[in-house]
Amino acid sequence: MPDAFGVGPPELLIVPGTTPCPIRHWSTDAVAPAQRLDYWVGAISEGFLSMGADAMRPGFNGSLTSVPFGAISLNQVQADPQRVWRTRREIAQSADRNCYLIGDLNSAWRVRQDGHVATVQPGNFVMVDSRRPYEFAFDEGVRCVSLELPLHWVTQWIAAPEAHVARPFRRGAEGGWGDALASFARALRPAVGAAPPLPAPLIVDQLGALLAMACGGPAGQAPADRSGLPERAVDVIRQRLAEPGLTGADVARSLGVSVRTLHRHLAARQITFAGLLLAERMRVARQMLTSPHLARVSSAEIGRRVGLLDPSHFIRLCKRAHGVTPAQLRPR
């Protein structure tokens, strides 16, 4: 069934061992019409950060849903046309040090920060930095996803966030990574935090890797002294394949490098960590499923041996990677 954004919810699967996060919700329906705009300003200041807002037409309705998700927060906003701003006054009222990756799913809107002005088309995303003033104009209303990205997390992935504010990530730009980032971000609504399809750190790592590549990724080739880092990463993945919650940070620690370094070297070869991990899991799973020596080992157990605990999830991934179900790969 379509949700309030006019699109169906992403497919959700609760993986054993994952922990749903508490969802917070604010709605102007909670107060009298005359108080709704003031309530809304308070809601966005509590749910996001200190900001000002003006309604663009008489009467006002809005709702905000937020859920923490690993290192970041997932937010979803539905509201009437409005203008939103953060001035030096609002900045002085909070010590917030976050970036926000924002995209409206239905309508074009405008953003201004650091002298850059952009019109963001429906489905595209843009980043802003809460440490400096900005302004949004939602002339046709708001149906947006907003991802709160702590600055310390962002700087693990990109060296200078300020160089990328108010510059939309859109289709055809950044070698296609801008569109990949926007597509991934569109799915990260609070419902994902409530019922995560994979462990949050793995999903958040994938977001960071896509952000790094959409912002330009690595310049040139990886340094010569670490040119074999992707191959070493594959070796670690193969050794730890059975760990359901394996993340890029885990592998980076095993290699003695930062997670940003690992993702930068993978990106130099147009690889993401999540893609590499899944490819290795599916490669090993196929070997095991087709081996006559493992014919008596159940498909579900083979899934567990490659870190995929939920049998139905394993079946879907197998069909996506190999075009057939695990059962169809078994020796006849």
Q: What is the CATH number of the domain that holds 111?
A: 2.60.120.10
- At 21 the pLDDT is 57
Same domain, 96 and 36: yes
- At 188 the pLDDT is 94
Same domain, 188 and 319: no
- At 264 the pLDDT is 84
212 belongs to a structural domain: no
For residue 286, give its domain range: 218-332
Same domain, 48 and 144: yes
- At 2 the pLDDT is 32
Q: Is the pLDDT of residue 162 over 60?
A: yes
For residue 58, count other CB atoms closer than 10 A to its CB: 7
Residues 163-171 have a mean pLDDT of 87
231 belongs to a structural domain: yes
Same domain, 43 and 148: yes
Same domain, 190 and 247: no
Same domain, 228 and 186: no
pLDDT digits (tens, 9 = 90+) for 274-321: 889 999 999 989 988 998 888 888 999 999 989 999 999 999 999 999
Same domain, 107 and 253: no
User: Using an 8 Å Cβ cutoff, are 99 and 207 in contact?
Assistant: no
Same domain, 102 and 239: no
Please state, in angstroms and rounded to a whole number, the distance separating the CA atoms of residues 120 and 216: 19
Q: Is the pLDDT of residue 111 over 50?
A: yes
* Nearest one of 227, 191, 204 to 153, comparing CA atoms: 204
Same domain, 46 and 156: yes
For the chain, the domain total comes to 2
4 belongs to a structural domain: no
Same domain, 180 and 227: no
- At 173 the pLDDT is 58
133 belongs to a structural domain: yes
Last residue of a domain, one of 165, 197, 229: 197
Same domain, 233 and 181: no
Weakest-pLDDT range from 32-41, 81-90, 132-141, 171-180: 171-180
12 belongs to a structural domain: no
* Nearest one of 254, 242, 251, 248 to 281, comparing CA atoms: 242
CATH number at residue 266: 1.10.10.60
Same domain, 259 and 301: yes
- At 227 the pLDDT is 58
17 belongs to a structural domain: no
